């Protein structure tokens, strides 16, 4: 009956929908109890097995998943789509709204969902391949459970040529959310995606917590959570171990909160790449706080291309971070991807705060601020940094900071020493 009570509360006061001022606790509580399969009589369950899906791990159940979602989405009552215990094989599927449920539509995943491994299933007409599981145009969604999405990416990673080509084709993301508002992702696992684990675009009011994302450290372009053109995204209590950025925020990412996330292996927390497209929207209001990084290529990074595409990145806080054997703990790179190009970056970086960052670096340059010659970084504040060198002792170079075209203000303890 716990879900019944939660749903009644949400019907009376939809905590995440239509601007209601009530606390979101009811929706979060619903996500938790639904993950355990506690469903009340006013929630109608739509089980993929009842729509013909086979839990044998061999039969393609794509159309059965789509039919189940459509039945739940079009139901004029409180609904939950159930993916029960078992192993299900599906190719690319599109779960598209709008939906007609009076409360948030719940997708409860307890089984293992495996992707078709053959890339022929994902060939699209555009620049990128079709993503695996796409949620689109939905207002009010809970994706929860103890289940696993297995992208079977190891079968295709060797074909990824993005390390050699800047205009490469992006491989399919495991979970893509586009034009989705008022959503909660809780408890699910993602293993070995072909591309990104989770992709959020043109979406608003997202909560991601207690999620596990795993792929080998050498898996290409397997960003944990990648977002663009999205506002009010909160990520917390999550473990990300992957082959690219743990969290990446590109153009149009605003009011993003990342807290209590464990990152590693991976490329750290990245803002960018920016300046890659024409008419990019600004990035602002980013907070990365109380996180830990272990043996990552980067710690916290802002990266922009050397192009004439103008935009701004401002109002950024990196605070209370623990880094263990991180290669580049603090880095701004405004020559990303094309250092030999004579054009300087037109992205303006300002109002960036690094506060209480401590741990170990495997690079002799632990703080590396390489800003644009035509648009120098403004308002960079570095407060209480305690990083120690933990790399090979094969040279006599000092443990240091490097700054170019950056206006930096220092406060408190500094190791390495500040830029002169």
Catalytic residue among 139, 192, 244, 297: 244
- CB within 8 Å of 288: residues ≥ 6 apart: 247, 258, 259, 269, 300, 317, 318, 319, 321
Residue identified by tokens 């969604």 is: 141
Rg (CA), the chain: 22
Catalytic residue among 226, 267, 282, 368: 267
Pairing of strands 365-370, 328-333: parallel
Going through 372-419 in order, the beta strands assigned E by DSSP cover: 377-389, 400-404, 406-415
Let me know how many helices (H) and strands (E) the chain has, helices first: 3, 28
- Inter-residue contact 419 to 370 (CB < 8 Å): no
- Inter-residue contact 245 to 264 (CB < 8 Å): no
The dihedral region occupied by 123, where left means phi > 0, alpha psi between -120 and 50, and beta the remainder, is: beta
| CA–CA separation, 10 and 26 (whole Å) | 7
Alpha-carbon distance values, 59 to 90, 113, 351 (Å): 8, 12, 53
Angle ∠(86,132,197) on CA atoms, nearest 5 = 85
Residues, the chain: 420
Residue identified by tokens 């097995």 is: 49
Told to judge if 223 belongs to the known catalytic residues of this protein, a careful annotator would answer no
| CA–CA separation, 335 and 208 (whole Å) | 32
| CA–CA separation, 178 and 377 (whole Å) | 32
Q: Which token pair is 239?
A: 């473990």
- CB within 8 Å of 125: residues ≥ 6 apart: none
Angle ∠(102,104,108) on CA atoms, nearest 5 = 130
Q: Which token pair is 210?
A: 């207690």
Told to judge if 297 belongs to the known catalytic residues of this protein, a careful annotator would answer no
**Residues marked as catalytic:** 244, 267
């Amino acid at each position: 009956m716990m879900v019944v009570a939660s749903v009644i509360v949400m019907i009376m006061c939809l905590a995440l929908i239509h601007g209601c001022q009530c606390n979101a606790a009811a929706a979060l509580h619903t996500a938790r109890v639904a993950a355990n399969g506690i469903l009340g009589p006013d929630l109608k369950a739509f089980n993929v097995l009842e729509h013909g899906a086979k839990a044998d791990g061999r039969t393609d159940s794509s159309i059965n998943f789509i039919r189940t979602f459509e039945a739940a989405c079009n139901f004029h009552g409180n609904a939950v789509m159930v993916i029960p215990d078992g192993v299900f094989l599906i190719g690319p599927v599109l779960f598209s709204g709008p939906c007609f449920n009076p409360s948030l539509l719940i997708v409860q995943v307890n089984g293992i969902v495996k992707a078709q491994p053959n890339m022929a299933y994902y060939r699209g007409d555009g620049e990128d391949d079709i993503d695996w599981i796409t949620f689109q145009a939905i207002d009010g969604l809970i994706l929860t459970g103890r289940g696993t999405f297995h992208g079977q990416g190891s079968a295709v990673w060797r074909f990824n040529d993005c390390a050699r080509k800047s205009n490469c084709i992006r491989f399919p993301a495991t979970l893509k959310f586009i034009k989705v508002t008022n959503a909660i992702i809780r408890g699910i696992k993602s293993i070995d995606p072909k591309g990104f684990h989770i992709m959020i675009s043109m979406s608003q009011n997202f909560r991601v917590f207690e999620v596990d994302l795993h792929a080998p450290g050498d898996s290409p372009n397997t960003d944990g959570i990648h977002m663009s053109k999205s506002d009010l995204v909160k990520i917390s209590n999550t473990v990300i171990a992957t082959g690219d950025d743990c969290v990446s925020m590109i153009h149009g990412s605003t009011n993003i909160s990342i807290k209590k996330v464990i990152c590693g292996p991976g490329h750290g927390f990245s803002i960018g790449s920016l300046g890659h497209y024409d008419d990019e929207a600004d990035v602002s209001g980013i907070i990365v706080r109380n996180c830990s990084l272990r043996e990552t290529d980067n710690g916290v990074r802002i990266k922009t291309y050397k192009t004439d595409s103008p935009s701004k990145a401002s109002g950024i806080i990196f605070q209370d971070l623990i880094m263990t054997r991180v290669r580049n703990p603090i880095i701004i790179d405004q020559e990303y991807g094309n250092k030999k190009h004579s054009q300087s970056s037109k992205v303006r970086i300002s109002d960036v705060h690094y506060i209480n960052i401590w741990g170990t670096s495997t690079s002799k340059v632990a703080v590396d601020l390489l800003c644009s010659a035509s648009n120098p970084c403004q308002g960079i504040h570095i407060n209480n940094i305690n990083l120690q060198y933990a790399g090979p002792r094969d040279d006599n170079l000092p443990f240091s900071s490097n700054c170019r075209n950056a206006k930096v203000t220092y406060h408190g303890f500094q190791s390495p020493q500040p830029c002169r």
